[in-house]
Each structure stands twice: as structure tokens, then as C-alpha cells.
Amino acid sequence: MSQHRHPGAPGRAGAVPALPDLPEATVARLPEYLRALHNLADTGHETVSSEELSAAAGVNSAKLRKDLSHLGSYGTRGVGYDVALLIEQIENVLGLTQRRAVALVGVGNLGHALAGYDGFAGRGFRIAALLDADPSRVGEEINGLVVRHVDELATVAAEESLAIGVIATPAAAAQQVADQLVAVGVTSILNFAPCVLSVPEGVDVRKVDLAIELQILSFHEHRKASLTALPATGGSALTALPGGFAATDTQEAIGT
Amino acid sequence: MSQHRHPGAPGRAGAVPALPDLPEATVARLPEYLRALHNLADTGHETVSSEELSAAAGVNSAKLRKDLSHLGSYGTRGVGYDVALLIEQIENVLGLTQRRAVALVGVGNLGHALAGYDGFAGRGFRIAALLDADPSRVGEEINGLVVRHVDELATVAAEESLAIGVIATPAAAAQQVADQLVAVGVTSILNFAPCVLSVPEGVDVRKVDLAIELQILSFHEHRKASLTALPATGGSALTALPGGFAATDTQEAIGT
DNA sequence: CGCGATTTGTGCACGTCTTCACAAGCGCCT
DNA sequence: AGGCGCTTGTGAAGACGTGCACAAATCGCG
């Protein structure tokens, strides 16, 4: 594959960091590997095999090796991967070498929790501002940050280099907030509101919806219930089970 | 890990409830359609075309039609889909006809927010119990529910028909909580703790991790930054953009 | 009653993702 | 030095998901 440098690529010899053009599925798993690697580093491991790391990350070992191979060859045959080196490489690819500023809009129920979430700092992010449209919430201090009015977004963007916005407003307000975020130059949005956002080209949106996750689980519950109800046509008893999905963040039956 | 069903699957003639054996990708989108349909119903629409509905759900119309075709033929050519009927069918498939009881374990920062989230009731779920391991939190009342000690899980399960558990504890406690949930018969878990859970076969786990979502966005930011830095080999300026992904819950550049 | 406008349902081709299986490479021990 | 065991990296095959493009079906209207 495009191991070294693209044949068709213009001059720009080994300039920057080689942009490996990873498959989306791989990108989605890298953070998981990263977390597992940090755990290993904290417990004193210096190297790790693909078998161990894949177990810690909850994936197939072949998948892990293929994923990592897209970053380059950072393993040593017969030995495994150097934990510290791999952490560095993954953080580099994910762009976590700089601590990115995040604007959080909507300081309601969920917004409060997110503002207090300490997983930000530990994972390469920093809440640059808390914003809300409700004047009665403006001025409130949460976790050392003062809530500002959402109309001050432009000011915030001028102070900081804002690239990521988190929307934790009610669905009715989400589109307008998204528009405001885009207007001040935000190009990545994490949307917790249960609605679809329209954004211009070049802006990425990821969605997290609690109800959707529960409904997906509900489907599987429903199916499991139906299956155990009927006596399994084949032969062997109820050892026959739902059967696999390869869905993104669904894990089933890991371990014994 | 008992992945797939055999290609030459034996009889298993569709008995009563017609278990359509949907593709995972389809299942993951059904809740989105359902939400869009409820919106349409609330605004007085009686029928909807695949084009309209797909736009409201943020997907391709062909994809929507294919997804719905897996449920059966509930549309009318030349007219569209009956909104009420489609809602009924999707809710049926997802097993939302019964209001499922959910146990929420971990009433910290995030747990509080989840306990107060009103999206549960509106989407077919009911928080049956709030649980925490911290004795100082036991007895606290949140949103009309009293926090009980996690060791009372068995009692709760005896009172209610518990099938779904939500873990909102720190990562260090998550595995133990998962074990306890499984022990009382829970077969679906929604895990907010940043760690991989080991569960026996037949138990479904879905994971929601804020940091992972942000890191995926960070990757795209990183990539976009690298792209705009170089002068676009072809000709036209920076209109050249990342280009589409088909990842699960990533939307890019919908609408104008 | 027939015709055109409209919209569903789907066959097909294509791209992406996963998994197996194995050669190539590395370190260690004799 | 040589051989052996272990582990990575990857080619190939198959499963899965997507989107086009079109035939089949339905409604409304003259």
C-alpha cells in the first residue's frame, strides 16, 4: 500500500507527518487502543504483544495488527510493540499532541455533568468555555469555569483557537447553536441533542444519543426473548445464541 | 466466539412474530427513523415519502427504503409510508411495546444527569432503580427516586423484570458492577465507564465514551488542518475536502 | 378506462471491513 | 553460527454495507 510516500504526491518530500489516510473503522478503534496502552504503561509494562493488547481493547488480534500496520511498522517481530512508542504514534496520528480547546454549549442537566467530567483533561482536551442561552444560568460557576452567554461565542473564539464544539442543549435549540458554532469557525461538533444537524461541507458531526443506544439494546433483548421462547429448530439446546454483529461499538461475549 | 449463523441455515420457518433477522446497521438506524417519525406525527403528517423521511433522519433515501423493506412492505407505491403504521411497526421490532425497566448504577456526576434525563420516559424506558456503592449517597432522592445500595440489586431484580442495566460508575468499579448485573439476570448493558467489560455469552454491551468521540473528532481536525496547509495539487482551491465516510454515526455535510 | 406522475421495493455492482493463515523477521539459547 | 520459538505484518477471501438505477405498483384525472 501507500507505505512510504504517495507516488502521485507532489513535491512535499517527507515534510509533515505523512498523513496515512486511515480507514474510518480503524480511526474509531485507535482511542480504545490508546486507553489500553495507557493502562499498560501505568502498570509498568514496557512492551505488549498484539494478543495482549487486543484482549485489553476488546478486539480481535488480527484486527489490531492490521489497524496498527496502517500507522507504519512500530512493532518488533518476536517481541511485540513498545508501549511508549505506540502511545506516542497514536497520539500523533489522532492529533492529541496539542491540547485542543472545546466549547461546551448547554449547561443543563447533561451539560453540568460534562463540565464536571474529568476525562477531558486526561485525554487531550480542555474546556475553553461554558455557554448557555438562558440568562439565569449565565454567571454560574461550574468546576472553576464561569458560564457565559452563548452570544459571546465569537469573543471566545477570538480568545482561543476553537475547533471543537459540544452541544448539550435541548433538541429545539441544537440547530441554531450548531449554526453559531460553524459561524465562528468550529469544524467539529459532538452533538448530544436528539436531532439531526445540518452543517456545511467540511464540518464533522458525531452524535451521542442515549435513547438510541437503549433502543438498540431493547431490540436485542426482544430478539433474545423470542429466541429462548422457541425450541431451536436445529438440534442442540439453547447454546445457540443470537450470533454476531460486527457493529462499531458493540461488544458481545468477550472473555470466557 | 460463535460469530455467524451458518450459510445453509436450516428450516427455522418464521413462526409467529416473524423475527426478521435485521442487519445490525439497519437496527442502529431504526431508532433514528422512529424519532423522525414521531416528529412528523406531532406536526400532523399522516404519510411520508422515503425522500422526506430520509432527509429528516439524515440518511440516503435508498438506504432508508432498504432498511424499511427488511421489516416488510409497509409502504404504498406512489404515496409513501403511513406514519402511524410505521411507528407501530418499528416500535414492535425494537421491542418498545413494553416499557422496559432500567437499572442505573452509579449516581455520580454523570449518573445524576442520566437520572434526570427525561428522554427515558418518552422513548419507552423507565428507570426502575438508582444504585450506588457509596453509602453516603444511599438515601439521596433524585428526580423522585431514592438511591439504594448496589448490593440491593437482587432485591430490585426480584421486584421488577430487569433486563437492562446502565453503568455510570468510575472505570475501576465497572467490571464488578457488570458482574453483579449479570448475576441478577441483566442481559443488556449500556456502559459509560471508559473500560472494556467482560461478560458471558448472550449478554450485550454497548459503550458510550465521551473521550473516544472527541478523539475521533480530533483526528479529523488534525487531518483537515494538514490538508488546508498544503496547496491542493489539482487546481481549484481548498474546495477539495476530506470526502465522505460511511461510518456508523458520523454525519458529514448534510444539507446546505 | 387508460395514462401519466409518483414512489416503493430490489437486483446488482462496488467499496469497506473482517478474518484467516502464513511467510518474514527477530531474539535467545545452545 | 545455527536453529528454534515467538510475533508481526499482510495477501487473499469472504462477509457486510451502500447506492444506483429501474421495474413494479398505486393514485388521480381526464
State the average pLDDT over residues B123-143.
96
CB atoms within 10 A of CB B250: 20
Determine the angle formed by the axes of helices B210-229 and A24-42, rounding to 10 degrees. Answer: 120
Tell me if A101 sits within 8 A of B192, measured CB to CB: no
Pairing between β-strand A145-149 and β-strand A141-142 as defined by DSSP bridges:
antiparallel
- Interface test with chain B among A21, A167, A221, by most B beta carbons within 10 Å: A221
* Band of residue A92 on the pLDDT scale cut at 50, 70, 90: very high
Per-residue pLDDT at B186 exceeds 80: yes
Helix A50-57 and helix A61-69, axial crossing angle in degrees, nearest 10: 100
pLDDT tens per residue, range A226-236: 877 655 444 44
Do the chains contact at A216 and B120, CB–CB below 8 Å? no
Nearest CA in chain B to A165: B214
- Cβ atoms B64, B37 nearer than 8 A: no
pLDDT band at A256 (very low <50, low <70, confident <90, very high): very low
| Total beta-carbon pairs less than 8 A apart between chain A and chain B | 302
Task: Provide the residue count of chain A.
Answer: 256
Contact residues on chain A for B93, CB-CB shorter than 8 A:
219, 222
Q: What is the pLDDT of residue A122?
A: 84
3-state secondary structure B155-224: HHHHHCCEEEEEECCCHHHHHHHHHHHHHCCCCEEEECCCCCCCCCCCCEEEECCHHHHHHHHHHHHHHH
Q: Can you tell me which residue has its alpha carbon closest to the C1' of nucleotide D24? A: B77
Nucleotides of chain D in contact with protein CB (under 7 A) are: 5-11, 15-21, 24-27
Q: Are A24 and B190 inside 8 Å of each other by CB?
A: no
A78 CA → C23 C1’, Å? 14
CB-based contact A108:A93 (threshold 8 Å) = no
Q: What is the mean pLDDT of residues B133-159?
A: 97
Q: How far is A6 from chain B (nearest CA, A)?
A: 13
- The pLDDT score that the predictor gives to residue B230 is 59
pLDDT in tens, B84-102: 999 999 999 999 999 999 9
For residues B47 and A205, give the distance between their C-alpha atoms in angstroms, rounded to a whole number.
29
DSSP state of B83: H
pLDDT band at B19 (very low <50, low <70, confident <90, very high): low
The model's pTM: 0.88
The answer to whether A231 contacts chain B (CB < 8 Å) is no
- AA letter at A198: S
